Structure 1
């Protein structure tokens, strides 16, 4: 029985093991050496872009590669966008919590953990500039599970889009005008959808091509200006009776001054030096800077992180735009891997599944660490319980090793609490009042000032269990006798007026009176 992919096409093991799209010396799939960017003109660029849309994208793809080699700014911006994507850690989400689906997901995790997988991802992100990228999978079927042993990058010029729908990628073949179908489970084709329409129009190189051409003109003119800038113009003057030979002597002298800083001329002739005006740099520099900013906007969606030294608030807003782009790129790359690698892998090793695992490239949200620490400083003393492992992960602080010196707060720690029952009255007086926070007594520093309210609170907490015990006994009795929540509410309501609270109320009243008196008397 033939193995079928998710589209019902047979997957042939013999084909899976073969390398079917390798280069050739004389055939249609050969390494290209053409140069397109040299001598690029508006008319030539328009023709290249038009031919790419009509089905012949070889010149456009060559130009896209040369742009990354010749324009430092475009190279840095697209490398930054690729780098953000390559820095994302892939994750595998199992189809369900069932044991079988968990087993399949674990196998997929092993698959994407291979070194060759990350290298293949580096090739796939090349599609951001050109519009698409292709990697061929050479499957290893000698052992189980069957998986790609090698991923080989393929030159995008070895492929073409179907002449009819212009969206289906096909492989070039000698004698095949419209190419041939890509065999199932053999290729990973990443087509970043940066805009709606046919894929060849979606590459970032197409977006930046006009800026690249104009900047090339600008830099060439700027270089010519810089070559003569600073050198004075040399004007030779001859008399009305000068012969052609005299004029030739004067011209040669002007040229010799430029090359050798010296020349010899007759007394009847004169060479005048005119200082050059510094008007070229503002024009050329401003135009080149403007074009670079447009490229940054097209590639990264903003300029703050690449060109401008703007305020922090502006940079945070623009970094948010980059975050959105990174999320989009990661989502699309995960979709490509899930559909074109994970599903064939699962089909070949585990058979058809109702739901398949998904590979994602999640973008972690940036943490405002200062706001986090400020909030913890305020909320933890109020009783908020926070796991230290969570905070360590957010702050990227590893757990301390056994025996490692630990940082502690500079304030001295209080002495260990002593149970109330342990000391006698004299010892209790020496230790100080009962702590309102924990009900224990703590040794006080000799120099620590005492507060009358501390002694008052300590006195109020002395023997607090005795007056409270009758209340707890009655409430517990009703709790144990209640048959439901509503029944307990009725019992507690009936009990409210008969609880023995007189002694506790008297203690609270006396303490309130004393505290008020201390407050009115003031310090001292």
Structure 2
């Protein structure tokens, strides 16, 4: 008897008539050619990054290189890249056919022959700038064609046409660039929205915190200069000639590093000490922007707040989990780029028709978290087993098998059991009902039983 009543499915389905598909449904209507948000539309698309447009000043992406020169921003960007690069990469066949497995083995061999970590690090420059471009140099190895070198190229040398194909800017084609061959340039994009093939990286958000921090340091240095030595005020007699005043000024300027000076009689010199009040400091101002840089880059602030708040282990674990999540996202995007471009090209050149393998970097396992999970699962399984035993034991009171079965199935804990298992429980219910229950370790006449039970559990 089945414990569930299901509506029988037909053994065959009538052939459905072919649906009409409008021609407009097969093409992209909202494309780059009619996109009103693209500035200065021409034969190539323009970068729509507002920060570049308003602050680039002719430098373009060069302003984002200045972000990496900031010690804290550069360290945070390297930390985010390193969180992904430090993981082991794996290749998985795209299908079960022999040719699919052969393609995976071929890709694994060719990728292993490259400085793959360096290749990935170059492409991850898109995290800051929105996109990154690397050129593949192909070579022959017997009957095979393989990538022998992959070099990262400065993004400023490329523009993209309306089909998102890269074009190389040269001295003879400074605006629209020249057409490039297929299967030659890998383009990795981050933060793509709409018809913007240039993506949108962290540079658009990090530019302002780094700029404000740099300006704050300038004011701080000026302030420290004022505190390092007092300002000397020289008072010359009324009617002094300009030439005499200039000589006095030169003398007083030399007094900054001298232990003694000589001034004409009648000249008065005073020292003005810099003073300030209040609790806000330049250091607090700079630390604030460091925290904003950390939040924007890695989603954490522990590295800049340990000295202030002391930090703690729980906060560190939360921040590490956040960094792992960001690395997972970066890895998924990079995996998609490499699979769709580099791996696809390797298969096309060597094993056309094979399913394209997948490549990714796997998050290292957390042994402590896995152990805690397994322990929780074991405890849950043990509790479920006890509950099922209690239900089946109670079902032994019913003589009719159908009634006992209905009683057992009325509890949610048995919903995951198969019909065969339910049948066995119904048949053996009286055995469950007469079997002695497991003793309670804390309700017994033996005073040493509880202690021994706890020892075994430990």
111 and 279 in structure 1: CA distance in 2 versus 1, 3 angstrom threshold? farther
Query: What SS does the corresponding residue of 1:146 show, helix, strand or coil?
Result: strand
Structure number with higher relative contact order (C-alpha < 8 Å, ≥ 6 residues apart): 2
| Correspondent of 2:299 among 296, 301, 308 | 301
- State the TM-score, normalizing by the size of structure 2: 0.64
Match of 1:211 in 2: 209
Query: What SS does the corresponding residue of 2:206 show, helix, strand or coil?
Result: helix
Distance, in Å, in 1 between the alignment partners of 2:446 and 2:126 is 81
Match of 1:170 in 2: 167
Distance, in Å, in 2 between the alignment partners of 1:495 and 1:86 is 58
Query: What SS does the corresponding residue of 1:260 show, helix, strand or coil?
Result: coil
Distance, in Å, in 1 between the alignment partners of 2:197 and 2:431 is 78
TM alignment of 1:115-264, pairs within 5 A: 115-162=114-161, 164=162, 167-176=164-173, 177-193=175-191, 198-200=196-198, 202-238=200-236, 247-248=245-246, 250-264=248-262
The CA RMSD over aligned residues, in Å, is 4.1
- 1:335 matched to 2:332? The reply is no
TM alignment of 1:426-465, pairs within 5 A: none
- 1:88 matched to 2:92? The reply is no
Q: Which runs of 5+ in 2 are unaligned?
A: 1-48, 383-419, 437-443, 449-458
Distance, in Å, in 1 between the alignment partners of 2:151 and 2:103 is 25
TM alignment of 1:58-69, pairs within 5 A: 59-68=59-68
495 and 244 in structure 1: CA distance in 2 versus 1, 3 angstrom threshold? closer
TM-aligned CA deviation for residue 295 of structure 1: 1.5
489 and 75 in structure 1: CA distance in 2 versus 1, 3 angstrom threshold? closer
- State the TM-score, normalizing by the size of structure 1: 0.57
490 and 78 in structure 1: CA distance in 2 versus 1, 3 angstrom threshold? closer
Aligned length: 348
* Structure with bigger gyration radius: 1
TM-aligned CA deviation for residue 193 of structure 1: 2.9
174 and 255 in structure 1: CA distance in 2 versus 1, 3 angstrom threshold? closer
TM alignment of 1:247-326, pairs within 5 A: 247-248=245-246, 250-277=248-275, 282-305=280-303, 307-308=305-306, 309-326=310-327
Distance, in Å, in 2 between the alignment partners of 1:487 and 1:195 is 57
TM-aligned CA deviation for residue 122 of structure 1: 2.4
TM-aligned CA deviation for residue 488 of structure 1: 9.8
Distance, in Å, in 2 between the alignment partners of 1:82 and 1:89 is 14
Distance, in Å, in 1 between the alignment partners of 2:423 and 2:271 is 111
Distance, in Å, in 2 between the alignment partners of 1:489 and 1:73 is 65
Q: Which runs of 5+ in 1 are unaligned?
A: 1-44, 383-483, 497-504, 506-514, 520-524
187 and 487 in structure 1: CA distance in 2 versus 1, 3 angstrom threshold? closer
Distance, in Å, in 2 between the alignment partners of 1:256 and 1:148 is 65
Distance, in Å, in 2 between the alignment partners of 1:124 and 1:488 is 59
